[in-house]
Structures are given as structure tokens and as C-alpha cells.
Structure 1
């Protein structure tokens, strides 16, 4: 007999899973399945923020590093190189890192609180895959809207 698990009846002895707690979601009769669920809104918010920070900072760091190298190489090979071109390149990278962290915290907070409220209203538990999936969608949306023609379309 299968029992419906809701967020209102938290299992006895439940502890919040460690981050990332990504498990293979098939096989709901294994113990990892019930132990890797999120029941509390604070945990949903925390998992979402952490995934957003990891993915946003990763994508923006790669982009910032590319811009740093591109700026330094272009300035190094110019006829009148500036003596502060490395400092300006580092400033570009730091601005990318700072922007990605702020975007991740703000976006992750909004998405985490909204998904937490939706799951709580439906009296459902959340898999640890859901915050990861939302973070991937956030990064993909950010990449898609970075192109000038697609941002007008979206």
C-alpha cells in the first residue's frame, strides 16, 4: 500500500539532507528517496540559493575570464598599450564575479521562496532535483537573453 507523503507529515527522525543530495529519482522504494526530500521552506530556499550561486558564478567566471584574456591580449598587441591594462582586465573579471553573485542571490531568493510557497500550498514535498533544475533554467534564460535579438523576442 502506497501512502501519500505531504509536507504536513514530516517523517519521524527526518534530518535535512546534506547539500547537494542529488540522487537518481527512479526507485522510490529505496531509502535514499525519502531521505532526499525537502519538507521545510527554509531548506528549499537554501538549496535554491546554493545552486544558483554555483551555476551563475561558474558561467559568469568563465565569461569574465574570457573577457579578461581577450582584453589583455588585444591591449598588449596594440600600438600604444596602456600600462594599467592588466588592472583593467582584473577589474572586468571582478565586476563579472560580483554581478553573478548578486544576480544569483536575488534570483535564487525569489525562485526559492516562490517554489517553496507553491509546494507548501499544495502540501507536497520537494525533491532535491527541483532547486538544481530551477538554477539550470535561470542560467539558460540568462544566456538566451544575452543575445540582442532573442531578448526582444522573449
Structure 2
């Protein structure tokens, strides 16, 4: 019986799990859960960046949609319209998506490298849930610092 799984003890025949691999850990003897562990730093980094990209793009798409609706309401009130309205909405979407994906790539890379180094230093393996949770933490931090009062306290 193996009590401690070390990142130095990569199992023979180990293959990196497919991307999401979010299996519910109903016990350490579950075969799906034991096959969804990350041993290598490159895999930890890749999973973290992909989860950051998914989470941040979802939040920034919602924000771009809300900004577009607000601009449409504003333009109808002030009798703007035509081609300039479409161009402005297109610029809103491009700006939001570009900045969201840029922030997600940089943030996911930094967090992925840090948690990979921490797990390697402790000689531990990482569940595929850890990058997912860190992406949620990153999105919640981004949302909380978007308010002017909270960014001063954080």
C-alpha cells in the first residue's frame, strides 16, 4: 500500500491526462482520480493557463456584452447610430477580449509556474482541480479589484 505519492515517483506508463480531467475524488483508490494527477511542471503550467483563459474569457465576454448593451442604450437616447455605432461596439468587443486574454495568459503563466514550483519543492503531485481553483481565484480577484474602493484596500 502506497501512503505518500511523491512527484519524484512518476508511475511507469504515466500519460498526461486529457485537458479538463476534473474527476470527483470519491476515494484515493478510484482509478479515474489516480489517473488525473499532474507530475510534470509543463503540464501544471499548461492546465493553469488553459483554465485561466477559459475563466477570464467568460468573464470578459459578459462584461463586453454589458458594455455593448449600455452603449446601444446611450446611442439610442442621443440619436447616434449608423456605422459609427457598429464600429464602436466592435472596438468594445475587441478591447475587452484582447485585454482579457492578455491578462489571463500572463496571470496563468505566473500562477502556474509558482504553484508548480511549490508542489515540486514539497515533492507532491497535483490534482487537476488545483489549476481550476486557481483560475477561479484569479477571476474573483480581478472582479474584486475592478471596484475603485476595494482596489485601494487590497
Q: TM-score range by the shorter chain?
A: over 0.9
Task: Identify the residue that residue 46 of structure 2 maps to in structure 1.
Answer: 46
Residue aligned with 1:116, SS: helix
Indicate yes or no: 2:10 matched with 1:10: yes
Structure 1 gap segments, 5+ residues each = none
CA distance in 2, matches of 1:114, 1:133: 14
Deviation sequence 1:125-148 (CA, Å, 0-9, x none): 000000000000000000001111
Task: Identify the residue that residue 124 of structure 2 maps to in structure 1.
Answer: 124
Normalised to the residue count of structure 2, the TM-score between the two structures is 0.96
In the TM superposition, what is the alpha-carbon distance from 1:111 to its structure 2 partner? 0.2
CA distance in 1, matches of 2:147, 2:104: 20
Task: Identify the residue that residue 133 of structure 1 maps to in structure 2.
Answer: 133
CA distance in 2, matches of 1:152, 1:103: 20
CA distance in 2, matches of 1:127, 1:60: 27
Question: For residues 1-154 of structure 1, what are the structure 2 equivalents within 5 Å?
Answer: 1-79=1-79, 81-83=80-82, 84-154=84-154
RMSD of the alignment, in Å? 1.0
Deviation sequence 1:64-116 (CA, Å, 0-9, x none): 0110121022102214x153012101101110000000000000000000000
In the TM superposition, what is the alpha-carbon distance from 1:25 to its structure 2 partner? 2.0
CA distance in 1, matches of 2:75, 2:5: 60
Normalised to the residue count of structure 1, the TM-score between the two structures is 0.96
Structure 2 gap segments, 5+ residues each = none
Number of residue pairs matched by the alignment: 153
CA distance in 2, matches of 1:129, 1:18: 13
Q: Is the 8 A contact 1:22 1:129 kept in 2?
A: yes
